[in-house]
A and B are shown apart, each in its own frame.
Chain A
Amino acid sequence: GENVEQHPSTLSVQEGDSAVIKCTYSDSASNYFPWYKQELGKGPQLIIDIRSNVGEKKDQRIAVTLNKTAKHFSLHITETQPEDSAVYFCAAGGNNRLAFGKGNQVVVIP
């Protein structure tokens, strides 16, 4: 089955700087790559996703890039704000099945 790995496990950034989280996946058949944000005590929420026919997608301060050849995709957060502090999960899959990474703790320092 699909195996998803995230790096780094923890990332601290100064407010206003950019944050980048990288994920690698193992199954070349995967065609859907979402990113979820989980705040303390809450369930994960989708923040952005990308499909395999697209290399990059942007939504305001958030962007995702996909490299299918290398089987990795990245989340980019620009102009970070304190409310961006959370755990971010990447996932990969298709056919209504997703495998999640272990999560990345992002801390934005005011």
Chain B
Amino acid sequence: EAEVAQSPRYKITEKSQAVAFWCDPISGHATLYWYRQILGQGPELLVQFQDESVVDDSQLPKDRFSAERLKGVDSTLKIQPAELGDSAMYLCATGGAGGNTGELFFGEGSRLTVL
């Protein structure tokens, strides 16, 4: 069964350092999302891509976060510099082509701890 791959699974870093997370979507999925999930909360959208284009990054803290999806396939989310409040699970999700909203397939997530 096809899966969304994310790495690393766990990352511990000190504040002010740079971190990067990688997502490989299910083949053929045009829509890709990065969500942040704080412990005990639901996923919150950071950025949404349709192919290689950003559709929604209104909730992305652009002073320190950046995301790209070169060639419309895999994607990278970067944080520089990391702050204590960035400690969370970063989830990548993908969906099929446009049209009606359908099932999102989530990866296992990348858990970030900022010390």
Residues of A within 8 A of B (CB): 4, 31-32, 34, 36, 41-46, 49, 51, 89, 91, 93-103
Contacts and interface: CB of A to CB of B under 8 A. Distances in A.
Interface string B73-109: 0000000000000000001010100101111111111
A32 B108 contact: no
A45 B109 CA distance: 12
Contacts, number: 59
A44 B106 contact: yes
B44 A100 contact: yes
A51 B100 CA distance: 10
Interface residues of B, number: 26
Nearest to A99: B45
- Give the most central of A44, A89, A93: most B CB within 10 Å: A44
B41 A103 contact: yes
B43 interface: yes
24 contacts: A32-B100, A32-B102, A34-B103, A36-B106, A41-B108, A43-B4, A43-B91, A43-B107, A46-B103, A46-B105, A49-B103, A51-B100, A91-B42, A93-B101, A94-B100, A96-B48, A96-B50, A96-B101, A98-B101, A99-B45, A100-B42, A100-B44, A103-B41, A103-B42
Contacts of B102: 32
A42 B108 contact: yes
